[in-house]
Copies of this chain bind each other. A is one copy, B any other.
């Protein structure tokens, strides 16, 4: 299958596939006589895996480790659990940060009386002493 077909099958951009190859995440496929990339089922599986992991927010480095781990079917999956759990912790932390941000932004915007910039509470919040 050509790169465009693989891209279609996995909802990935062609450039992204080439990028994954360039950083060693996806193995280089065979080439046709005209130097086109020629992918097989294994590549499709691999890229699907990558896509799903990315959709779950894993970094490319994490994906790389998950891929490596997924090949050792007989090992314990402790390491997998560790990667996923620390990612989850990170996601939770981000949610907390953003929630705090939302509250503060909401408060600031709420207090805006839509007058002139001179007495805009939003600007005032940003530059308390500049008045």
Q: Give the interface of A toward B (CB within 8 A).
A: 45, 48-49, 52-53, 56-57, 66, 69-70, 72-78, 80-81, 84-85, 87-88, 91-92, 94-95, 98-99, 101-102, 104-106, 108-109, 112, 114-118, 120, 122-123, 125-127, 129-130
Option from B66, B78, B102 in Cβ contact (under 8 Å) with A95: B102
The binding surface of chain A is classed by DSSP as helix
- Nearest to A85 among chain B residues (CB) is B109
Say yes or no: A102 contacts B81, CB within 8 Å: no
Say yes or no: A105 contacts B56, CB within 8 Å: yes
Contacts of A80 in B (CB 8 A): 112, 117, 120, 122-123
Say yes or no: A130 contacts B56, CB within 8 Å: no
- Nearest to A83 among chain B residues (CB) is B122
Say yes or no: A77 contacts B122, CB within 8 Å: yes
Say yes or no: A88 contacts B117, CB within 8 Å: no
Say yes or no: B105 contacts A91, CB within 8 Å: yes
